[in-house]
Structure 1
Amino acid sequence: MSLVANTGKLAGRTLFITGASRGIGKAIALKAAKDGANVVIAAKTAEPHPKLPGTIYTAAEEIEALGGKALPCIVDVREEKQVQAAIDEAVKKFGGIDILVNNASAISLTGTAQTDMKRYDLMHNINTRGTFLASKLCLPLLKNSNHAHILNLSPPLNMNPYWFSIHVAYTMAKYGMSMCVLGMSEEFKPFNIGVNALWPKTVIATAAIEMLTGDTSTSRKPEIVSDAAYLMLSQDPKKYTGNFAIDEDVIKQNGINDLTPYACDPKNVDNLLLDGFLDDPAAIGHHRNVTTASIRRYHTSTVNYSNVTNLMPDFFLEVPGESEQQEKKSEPEGQIPTLFGSISKVITPELVKKTQAVYQFNVKGKEEGVWHIDLKNGDGTCGQGEPKNPPDATLTMDSTNFAEMFAGKLKPTTAFMMGKLKISGDLQKAMKLEKMMKSLKNKV
């Protein structure tokens, strides 16, 4: 569902989009196609993925069905020769490149100890290096365009240490894309090339998110990002550059205030799962040790270095240090012991067989302590203290949120994305908690 009308401003323009075979990249390609744009689909997926739909060829068919022209190219953005070959093909077919969209990205929301170097290298080679490489190789062609844009799908540069602490490797890789915006927007000004970043306010319902969480009901459709990208790419690049934009803000600035149609489930329009890297001023206000001045210095913009009062609101209602600020009392009785007493009564061999995971819970706050649920060995056990067998996943959260999670009021996936839950170990097994919760919800 698109709320932004096509104006024809991208008609005849050539877009080079990395990772355009599915998700947000494809949505941007389809939006441009309605203007009659040319789209180079630079992605790896030539053969169908067993779990993720879409290839460069099916994307090309959709683009051309909407009136655009497509050039599917097999491109791994880590390979310079493949990127250059796709650019050369674009020149042969379309005569040049006007717009580069750096969308291809790899993600691993893991802590330092849990991030293997193969995954680290993958994220940095695709996110940071791939963005830099594509920008570098497209630069000569962009210089020749009278409507040259580079758009990176990356977050505002927010130097709050929290965003580094929860997944430092991924944060560095995504911020590498944003630093390209910071530097290139200034470097390319003499060539009239607009360089900007776009980031979603909420989680976007892509096939990858659905595969990871199994639920997109609290997400928005990719069209909100493609509509925002279309509005940004329609701007005069001489005047519009150096922006770290949020999709929702771009849409609202263009007079559209009811964003309900973008929600996957309109019933959840007020309960959407919000994306990361943005601070919520209202929430931060509750943390007395975090001053307004310290929050201000976290935010970086190439557009207006002094505009520090308009902090972008988003989720992540907890900030590092909060647990230390709270009064730490270990009470003998409370919600947690009662909760685990109830859980022990509903653990069955069938649940153990389905789950096959050992969980350790490091509970902080009012009812601080260590607890475990073993749904892997024997008939399953749970209780206070560390598990006898090594945990597959260790989850850390405040006791209040912990109780809400097991009461079915807070989904583990939601808690994780909101920063209320920190996970170390096997992320996939940790996400199995959500399915386990459903079986326990009506019994506990």
Structure 2
Amino acid sequence: MSLIQNTGKLAGRTAYISGASRGIGRAIALKLAKDKVNIVVAAKTGEPHPKLPGTIYTVAKEIEEAGGRALPCLVDIRDEKQVADSVQKAVAEFGGIDIVINNASAINLTKTLDTDMKRYDLMHQINSRGTFLVTKMCLPYLKKGKNPHILNLSPPLSLQPRWFQNNVAYTIAKYNMSLYAFGWAEEFKPEGIAANCLWPATGIYTAAIEMLLGGADAKRQCRSPDIIADAAYSILCRDSKQATGYFYIDEQVMKEEGITDLTPYQYDKDAELMPDFFLESLDTVHSSQYKIQLTGKATPVTSASSMGKSAPPPAAAAAPSGGGGDEGGEIVQIFSKIKGLVDPDMIKKTNAVFQFDVKGDDGGMYFLDLKNGEGSTGKGESPNKSDVTISVSQADFVKLFSGKLSPTSAYMMGKLKVKGDITKAMVLDKLMGKLKSKL
């Protein structure tokens, strides 16, 4: 579903898109193809993946069918020669390069001790080095390009500690992409080359989300990649000498285009959408447009919320006032019901021990063991080693297990704190999908 109509304004331009074989990269490529753009499909998937759809050749075919011209290039953006060769092929085929979309990225949400160096290197070599390398190789042609744009699929910079504490290696690797845009916006200003970032306000259902959360319930809480493709198209049509140095959020771009009803991008119009990483809250997104200010600070244009310095941490959720015994009893009842619903299939698919630190007058420590034996629940410390400890208020705990609040959304909004394996915490989203109708 596309809400921004193609105008043909980009016809004849050439776009180099990394990671274009699936997901957001593919969606942007197909959107540009409708304007008859020449597209370099740069990705390392040449043979079909057993679990993930799409190769550089299948996407190239789709581009041609949509009206564009495609050049599929088998590229690992960590490899300098492969990137250089693909750029030269693009120039030989299309005569130049006008647009660079740095979309390729790697994610691994682990804490320091749990991050092996192979994964660390992968994230930093793709997200950081790869983004720099692709841009560097394309730069001589961007200088000659028509209304040239660099667009990094990376977030606004926020120094909230919660974005670092559970996955510092990934956060820094991703922020490097944004920092490059920060520098390039100023460096390339005399050349008239725009450098911007684009990031979604909500979860976008891609292979990465499928890998982290999986299941239909996660998909319900996400939008389709089409909203990013539409927002990217809008940005790339803007004057590169004026529209540069921005942390764009997809919802804000759509608002600037006069589009406020975004439900067509949702898979389930009635579901609560999960906020994406690195955004303080959806309320902040709705009231702000993030802009890189080339004075060394990054602040929203219309909001008091600071992006250039660490904002105060969110206030702890208050315990229910007056006679919280009902909610305390409700917590006990929830665990009692869960115990009766545990089955071997749930244990096999979840394979985790959760320790809950519930804050409030009637809170305390509770555990949910969906890893050992027939599974167990109880109050106090788990007799088996926990994979993750989740701190949450009484009120939000009840909302989590009644289906009124997604664990991932709660984490994104700072309502839920995690110690341990965050990927295990995200498994809760799958579990809630099974339990919420029965609790």
The reply to whether TM is greater than 0.5 is yes
Which residue of structure 1 aligns with residue 292 of structure 2? 301
- Aligned partner of 1:223: which letter? D
SS in structure 1 of the partner of residue 261 of structure 2: coil
User: In 2, are the aligned partners of 1:201 and 1:275 still within 8 Å (CA)?
Assistant: yes
Which residue of 2 is the match for residue 382 of structure 1?
A: 377
- Aligned-partner Cα distance in 2 for 1:281–1:435: 23
1:23-422 matches, cutoff 5 A: 23-213=23-213, 214=215, 215-268=218-271, 271-280=272-281, 301-302=292-293, 308=300, 310-311=302-303, 320=313, 322-323=315-316, 334-349=329-344, 351-422=346-417
Give the Å deviation of 1:257.
Answer: 2.3
**Alpha-carbon distance in structure 2 between the residues aligned to 1:225 and 1:364:** 38
Tell me: CA distance 1:149–1:200, structure 2 relative to 1, closer, same or farther (3 Å).
Answer: same
Opposite residue 221 of structure 1, the aligned amino acid is S
- The amino acid of 2:73's aligned partner reads C
SS in 2 for 1:97: coil
- The letter of the residue matching 1:302 is Q
CA deviations on 1:271-319 (whole Å, 9 max, x unpaired) are 32221222249689xxxxxxxxxxx9xx862368696562399xxxx97
Is the contact between residue 314 and residue 414 of structure 2 (CA under 8 Å) also seen in structure 1? no
**1:219-240 CA deviation, whole Å, 9 max, x = no partner?**
1111111111111111121222
Structure 1 distance, partners of 2:277, 2:312, is 13
Using the alignment, how far apart are the partners of 2:164 and 2:175 within structure 1?
10
Question: Structure 1 pair 158/406, CA: closer, same or farther in 2 (3 Å)?
Answer: same
Q: Is the 8 A contact 1:103 1:153 kept in 2?
A: yes
State the SS of the aligned residue for 1:48: coil
Is the alpha carbon distance of 1:61 and 1:144 closer, same or farther for their aligned partners in structure 2, counting shifts above 3 Å?
A: same
**For the structure 1 residues 144 and 22, does the alpha-carbon distance in structure 2 shift closer, same or farther, using more than 3 Å as the test?**
same
8 A contact 2:90–2:97 mirrored in 1: yes
Contact 2:12 2:36 in 1 (8 A): yes
Assess, with a 3 A threshold, how the Cα gap between structure 1 residues 157 and 414 changes in structure 2: closer, same or farther.
Answer: closer
**C-alpha distance 364-119 of structure 1, shift in aligned 2 (>3 A):** farther
**Alignment-mate amino acid for residue 274 of structure 1:** P
Distance 1:322 1:208, change over 3 A: same
Cross-structure match for 2:308? none
Contact 1:278 1:312 in 2 (8 A): no
Question: In structure 2, do the counterparts of structure 1 residues 191 and 402 end up closer, same or farther at CA, with 3 Å as the change threshold?
Answer: same
Q: Distance in 1 between matches of 2:187 and 2:391?
A: 43
Within a 5 Å distance, the mapping from 1:403-442 to structure 2 comes to: 403-442=398-437
> CA 1:32/1:441 → structure 2, altered by over 3 Å: closer, same or farther?
closer
Distance 1:6 1:442, change over 3 A: closer
TM-score after normalising by structure 1: 0.86
Q: Distance in 1 between matches of 2:223 and 2:304?
A: 18
Distance, in Å, in 2 between the alignment partners of 1:126 and 1:369 is: 43
Cα distance between partner residues in 1 of 2:304 and 2:208: 26
Scaled by the length of structure 2, the TM-score of the pair is 0.87
Alpha carbons 1:323, 1:364 under 8 Å: kept: no
Q: What is the distance in 1 between the residues matched to 2:381 and 2:78?
A: 42
Post-superposition offset of 1:177: 0.6
Paired residues of 2:152 and 2:177 also in contact (CA < 8 A): yes
Cα separation, 1, equivalents of 2:321 and 2:382: 23
1:386 partner amino acid? E
- 1:263 deviates by 1.7
Give the 3-state SS of the residue equivalent to 1:216 in structure 2.
Answer: helix
Q: 1:51/1:420 Cα in 2 relative to 1: closer, same or farther (>3 Å)?
A: farther
Amino acid at match of 1:75: V
The 8 Å contact of residues 18 and 102 in structure 1, kept in 2 or not, is answered as yes
Percent pairwise identity: 54
Q: Which runs of 5+ in 1 are unaligned?
A: 285-295
How far off is 1:136 after superposition?
A: 1.2
How many residue pairs get aligned? The number is: 425
- 1:289 is matched with none
Structure 2 SS opposite 1:255: coil
Describe the superposition over 1:11-43 as per-residue Cα deviations: whole angstroms up to 9, x where unpaired.
111100000111111111111111111000111
Query: Residues 394 and 141 (structure 1 numbering): CA distance in 2 closer, same or farther, change over 3 Å?
Result: same
Contact 1:359 1:374 in 2 (8 A): yes
Q: How does 1:1-40 map to 2 (within 5 A)?
A: 1-40=1-40
Q: Residues 419, 114 of structure 1: CA spacing in aligned structure 2 closer, same or farther, 3 A cutoff?
A: farther
- 8 Å Cα contact 1:151-1:197 kept in structure 2: yes
Unaligned runs of 5+ in 2: 306-310
Change beyond 3 A, Cα 1:281–1:206: closer
2:280·2:413 contact (CA, 8 Å) conserved in 1? no
Q: Is the 8 A contact 2:185 2:195 kept in 1?
A: yes
The superposition leaves residues 321-366 of structure 1 with CA deviations (integer Å, 9 ceiling, x where unpaired) of 634987999x895433343334334444554455433222232344
